[in-house]
Structure 1
Amino acid sequence: MKSGIRNFYSSFRKIALSLVLIVMLAGCGNEKSKSSFSEFTAIGAATTNPVIATGFRITDGEQERLLEIFNPADTLHPVARFYLVDSVCAGNRYADGITLEVPVQRMVCLSATHLSLLDALDKMEALVGVAGANYVVSGKFKERVANGKIKEIGIAGRYQLEALLELAPQIVMVSPQAGQAFEPLTNAGLTVIPNGDFLENHPLGRAEWIKMMGALTGTEKRSISIFDSISKSYNHLKQIAANTPHRPKVLAGKQYGGFWNLPGGKSYVAQLLHDAGAHYLWSDNENTGGLMLDFETVYNRGLGADYWRLLVYSDTIYTYDLLAREDGRYRNFAAFKKKQVLVCNTRTTAYHQQGLLQPHILLADYIHIFHPDLLHDHKNQYYHLMP
């Protein structure tokens, strides 16, 4: 996966640096409200700039705001630059980046996970097309699809170019996934913006990408307020869990395709588990992504784990019986025997759509399960002990 993402960013950087894309063809003489950029200058990039996220940066200029996108593995060299301006004209086109008129009015997202950012900023009307709509559980989104205000242009990771072009979007937001074909979009003259929120290793780093969306949609003040609230709640919960004397041992993942897939020790999931007052059994691992291990390796280390965390996609309620049917050896694990397997079913929850902006709720779910004497009033939203 890492090599695929690295190749994506490498290819994207070559194309982005070789093209100067004109997003809006309107001349400088056209009348246009300056409210969005006035908000830019009033706020200042020092406030908007990410505190934890490493995949983007925002810098103020004299008449523009510069949004830079980075590969988290290389935060010195941006893969793309976007100059955010009130109106595009000959006097403010930049040879080293893409000039983009903001606030963006027409956007296509090739990943449904980005919709929560627009929803939180009350800017869903800017979305005109999406791929992977079948994974979205938001009622507001489904209503706009039913009314024809949002068009489905393909499934997650694949899109119908002709249908997308008919929507005439100002920008197309993509996830830097291996195999994501963005060249046809740039060849067609579209502005493509990579959103690498899922590559952030800290839960708050992922949530902080709402500031990037705020810069694009003219809602920076709201984006800053939302993130500050999330950060405050998360750190408060983290402090509560830090004071607990017992840190239960946690196993994660299960077998797929002959290998046990589980989060690396420096991953987003590992950070959440640590902040929830748990001891993730692979916390000594330096990998920031996922691990693929043989069953015996996991069995030897994870057999006595107090809890077992699972993320599944199931049309039915996921149970111990279903888990055991996949591999009878699962019954030997202590967490299975003690009925301490926690599960999030992404089929019936909005984990992939809203979890990005709700790390504090994910953290509260974990704390409520690992430390039942804490957070008595919390109602778990994503993770539950398996029935």
Structure 2
Amino acid sequence: MVETSSAVSFLTELGEFNLIKGVTDASFMYNPKIDQGIKNKTILEIGNSNELFTETILKNKPQLIIANSNPVLAKYHQQLEQNGIKVLYLDEYKEQNPLGQIEYLKVFGKLFNKNNEANQQFELVKNRYDSIKNIIQTKGKGNVSTLVNTMYGDVWYLPTKDLLQAKLIEDAKGNYIFNDKTGLNSLSLTFEEVYKKGKSANYWINVTSANSLAEMKASYPNYTWFDAFKNGNVYAYNKRMNIKGANDYFEQGIVRPDIILNDLGKIFYPDLFPNYTLYFYQQLK
């Protein structure tokens, strides 16, 4: 049984999806096999981010639960462990290296006796990532600048240069506008602070709450002040989002950072990838 969408991705990547017998927060998982399994009753709903259905779990006696160290669920995990259920905690989301999260595939390889498959897949993705990065770094002119995210309430949360989002942009030679800020905590800025530094940015990426420029304008009219908005260079990573709001960028993207980098390379330097079609990202119209 699994509590994270990342675990679904790792198991799917190794061809072991059928081992999944229960999930939490099924509606937030993109993989359509999860919905199908719940409808067919081959996969159980065992809880959500606030609680676990311990009776259901104990009744079905899973060999293993793959979880992360969510403090809200700690008491449920403790209860399950006291009743002989093994819980494996994996916090791959804390990794800030673009290839760091997929390296957890090797842990799953050890768990399910698929070391060779896990190592081979990791090397394939790593080699492709490095190849794409090399193309961008050697041929990309570096004449772009990039703004990310949108307002959340009255705050604009942005990554520092040490966080994953900024490192992906760096590898794609996107010249992130706050690349002078360091630390492992996100920046919490006002609109005015972001506008002062980002008004002339060429690109605006990682918009998730809108499917069009009109929706963005309706949610916060001052977004129209940015040059990237005026020029239509706004990209959301919600091309693979289903009607429930589950986003494959945060699922398959964990095991395919090479595709994310290829998307960014296509956005910043389209001439370098003339035959490539955006996979996770889409340009807002």
In structure 2, the residue matched to 1:129 is 22
Deviation of 1:155 (Å): 2.6
In structure 1, the residue matched to 2:122 is 227
In structure 1, the residue matched to 2:184 is 288
Residue 194 of structure 2: SS of its match in structure 1?
A: helix
Identify the match of residue 320 of structure 1 among 189, 200, 213: 213
Residue 271 of structure 2: SS of its match in structure 1?
A: coil
Return the alpha-carbon distance in structure 2 between the equivalents of residues 354 and 235 of structure 1. 19
User: Which protein has greater RCO, CA pairs closer than 8 Å, 6+ apart?
Assistant: 2
Q: Percent same amino acid at aligned positions? A: 27
Return the alpha-carbon distance in structure 1 between the equivalents of residues 209 and 45 of structure 2. 22
Q: Which has the larger radius of gyration?
A: 1
Identify the match of residue 194 of structure 1 among 89, 103, 106: 89
Identify the match of residue 380 of structure 1 among 261, 270, 278: 278
Residue 230 of structure 1: SS of its match in structure 2?
A: helix
Letter in 1 for 2:282: H
Deviation of 1:204 (Å): 0.6
Q: Does the alignment pair 1:217 with 2:112?
A: yes
Q: Does the alignment pair 1:118 with 2:49?
A: no
Conserved 8 A contact 1:111-1:156: no
In structure 2, the residue matched to 1:238 is 133
Change in CA separation of 1:201 and 1:147 when aligned onto 2, cut-off 3 Å: same
> Where does 1:55-204 land on structure 2 (aligned, <5 Å)?
108-181=1-74, 182-204=77-99
What root-mean-square deviation, in Å, do the aligned CA atoms of Structure 1 and Structure 2 show? 1.7
5+ residue gaps, structure 1, are: 1-107
Conserved 8 A contact 1:129-1:167: no
Letter in 2 for 1:358: R
Provide Cα deviations, 1:68-117, integer angstroms capped at 9, x if missing partner: xxxxxxxxxxxxxxxxxxxxxxxxxxxxxxxxxxxxxxxx1111221010
Letter in 1 for 2:234: V
TM, length-normalised to structure 2: 0.91
TM, length-normalised to structure 1: 0.68
Conserved 8 A contact 2:237-2:281: yes
Letter in 1 for 2:205: R
In structure 1, the residue matched to 2:164 is 268
Letter in 2 for 1:231: K
In structure 2, the residue matched to 1:347 is 241
Residue 173 of structure 1: SS of its match in structure 2?
A: strand
Q: Does the alignment pair 1:258 with 2:151?
A: no
5+ residue gaps, structure 2, are: none
Return the alpha-carbon distance in structure 2 between the equivalents of residues 238 and 154 of structure 1. 40
Conserved 8 A contact 2:49-2:73: no
